[in-house]
Amino acid sequence: TTPPSSDTASFLRCLAADLPPQVVYTNASESYTSVLESSIRNLLFVTPSTPTPVAIIAAADASHVQAAVRCGARHGVRVRPRSGGHDYEGLSYRSLRSSASATAHPFAVVDLAAPAIRGVRVDAARRTAWAGSGATLGELYYAIANRSLRLAFPGGLGPTVGLGGHLSGGGFGLLLRKHGLAADHVTDAVVVNADGDILDRAAMGEDLFWAIRGGGGGSFGVVLLWKLRLVPVPATVTVFTVHRPRNQSATTLLTKWQRVAPTLPRDAFLRVVLQKEDAQFECLYLGARAGLVATMAGRFPELGVTTEDAIEMTWIEAVLYFAFYGVGKPREMLLDRGAGPERFFKAKSDYVSEPVPSHAWERAWRWLAMDGVAGLIILDPYGGRMGAVAPAATPFPHRRELYSVQYYGFWFENGTEVAEKHLGWIRGMHREMEPYVSKNPRGAYVNYRDLDLGVNHGEDDDDGVAGYEKARVWGEAYFRGNFERLAAVKAKVDPHDFFRNEQSIPPLRSSQ
């Protein structure tokens, strides 16, 4: 059960022979650290003891990705794709030691953020776009708005998130109830597989095309390009943000919100962000102010939304509004890819199938109000289009839930003890909510990657191939009944588990 023998020196020689020197960064390169950290978001994984890549290939052409994969396969060095670097557990640029003493298996990063390969091409007439994986959501939204203010893409809120990881894990934002997941709108893709071959949808076949649209990043190949179907939006949309304090009405409102938000008309997306003693209700409505105010008055009068709360704007202005909280922000802010890691954070997720009782919300409030910790609980309603898509249509299975929950804790001070305190807090809050959320198994969202659910351990390997049974624990939390099909696809396209990380899909072997 030893991992495939890796020969880092030969791997680096292979890269040097097949790639232009300016795209390969090793420990010996002056800018290795700045390239490595360029898109890292979580300070937890910027430590001297974090296992880092033996090389970063900043691909400027598809052939560079092919060469990196082929050199890696030949010399036993696995490749991790990195698009926006936002993975919550840093799996696109770090690995885990299996135990304190063991050294990590060497790996390389193929970074897809170079301008030469991250372009976005919008065809407004056909309502489609081709986008490189390394493009951010902000760059995509900006490119769409430059062509038409009546087109949009139903992706996430964070403008610095990379398309590669986002689409690989499903991806959702404020258009979810009207249009479903971001991955639901992928109509073609270009992938470099474990043999280093380039495949489009026709060449890869429908099984692999199914798997890459939600089966989680880093398991099936390096996706270079995505063809996206854009969606129409009205010229005017309306937003509001209202705050309701815990000690007044928040718990009653939350309890009602659970029944109302998933059953509102599809044009209305009403989420809640809980922080300390405050419930922030945020809404995007695909229509004019009068429609939103009337909908709220009819369906959720207790929230007390007034005409003054509602602000009309274009869809792209709403993107800026929710990304940066304010009106009148310049659109160019969407092009800012961020300036490296700035905080420590840990997140966990849940799905809710039955309304949570109000006494459970009171317990959640107690966690949020604790001294010395900072965090959020974010509730995103489903229903609408989500409920109309079959749970097996894509790998993302949680279509029929009422809403999703994200617990997010963050801090700024360095140190193991500080980290343990914050990690303990977020885990405690998650434990507290267990009786009230989805079960058998408790669900989670793969794009909110959480290694507490379990990992592929080197020592469980069969010849360097991750074990299926062990992986089911977290695999079925993310993918439920779709996990087995993902593992079957993996066995077909990457039987030797070249594209592997701590939570990649293991190949389903015939004996299993």
- List residues binding ligand FDA (CB under 6 A): 41, 80-88, 91-92, 112, 133, 156-158, 161-162, 164-166, 168-169, 171-173, 217-218, 222-223, 447, 501
Q: Supply the minimum distance, in Å, between the C-beta of residue 247 and ligand FDA.
A: 29
d(CA 403, CA 110): 35
CB of 162 to ligand FDA, least distance (A): 3
CB atoms within 10 A of CB 423: 16
Nearer to ligand FDA by Cβ, of 112 and 264: the residue is 112
Identify which of residues 296 and 402 has a Cβ nearer to ligand FDA in the complex.
Answer: 402
Rounded-to-10 torsion of CA 339, 274, 174, 259 = 170
Using DSSP, state whether 208 is helix, strand or coil: helix
CB of 282 to ligand FDA, least distance (A): 12
Indicate the SS3 state at residue 69.
helix
Q: Minimal distance in Å, beta carbon 407 to ligand FDA?
A: 14
Residue 100 has, within 13 A of its CA and on its CB side, a CA count of 0
Residue reference for tokens 């390009």: 225
User: How far apart, in whole angstroms, are the C-alpha atoms of residue 426 and residue 444?
Assistant: 15
Q: Which is nearer to ligand FDA, 88 or 479 (CB)?
A: 88
Amino acid identity, position 421? K
Please state the closest distance from residue 77 (CB atom) to ligand FDA, in A: 15
Q: Which lies closer to ligand FDA via its Cβ, residue 95 or residue 295?
A: 95
Smaller CB separation from ligand FDA, 42 or 251: 42
Contact 486, 475 (CB under 8 A): yes
Q: How far is the CB of 222 from ligand FDA (least distance, A)?
A: 5
Cα separation, 209 vs 191, whole angstroms: 9
Closest approach, Cβ 357 to ligand FDA, in A, equals 27
Beta carbon nearer to ligand FDA, 65 or 296: 65
Please answer whether residues 402 and 262 qualify as being in contact, where contact means their C-beta atoms are separated by less than 8 angstroms.
yes
Which residue number, 355 or 387, has a Cβ lying nearer to ligand FDA? 387
Shortest distance, CB of residue 363 to ligand FDA, whole angstroms? Answer: 26
Beta bridge partners, 103, equal: none
The residue number whose beta carbon is nearest to ligand FDA equals 217
Minimum distance of ligand FDA from residue 456's CB (angstroms): 12
What distance in Å separates the CA atoms of residue 480 and residue 441, rounded to the nearest whole number? Answer: 8
Least Å from the CB of residue 324 to ligand FDA: 12
Q: Which is nearer to ligand FDA, 293 or 402 (CB)?
A: 402
Nearest distance, CB of residue 140 and ligand FDA, angstroms:
12
Which runs of consecutive H residues, i.e. helices, occur in 325-415? 358-368, 385-388
Q: By C-beta, is 98 or 295 nearer to ligand FDA?
A: 98
Judged on CB neighbours under 10 Å (0-12, 13-18, 19+), 363 is middle
**Residue with Cβ nearer ligand FDA (91 or 120):** 91
Calpha distance 280→498 (Å, rounded): 44
Residue 149 has phi, psi (to 5 degrees) of: -90, 0
User: Whose Cβ is closer to ligand FDA: residue 107's or residue 367's?
Assistant: 107
Nearest to 51 by CA among 17, 97, 10, 99: 97
Q: What is the 3-state composition of the chain as percent helix, strand, coil, each rounded to the nearest 5?
A: 40, 20, 40
Rounded to the nearest angstrom, the gap between the alpha carbon of residue 369 and the centroid of all alpha carbons in its chain is: 27
Contact 245, 315 (CB under 8 A): no
Give the Cα separation of 258 and 488 in Å (integer). 37
Inter-residue contact 455 to 471 (CB < 8 Å): no
Q: How deeply is 409 buried, as exposed, middle or buried, from its count of CB atoms within 10 A (0-12, 13-18, 19+)? A: buried
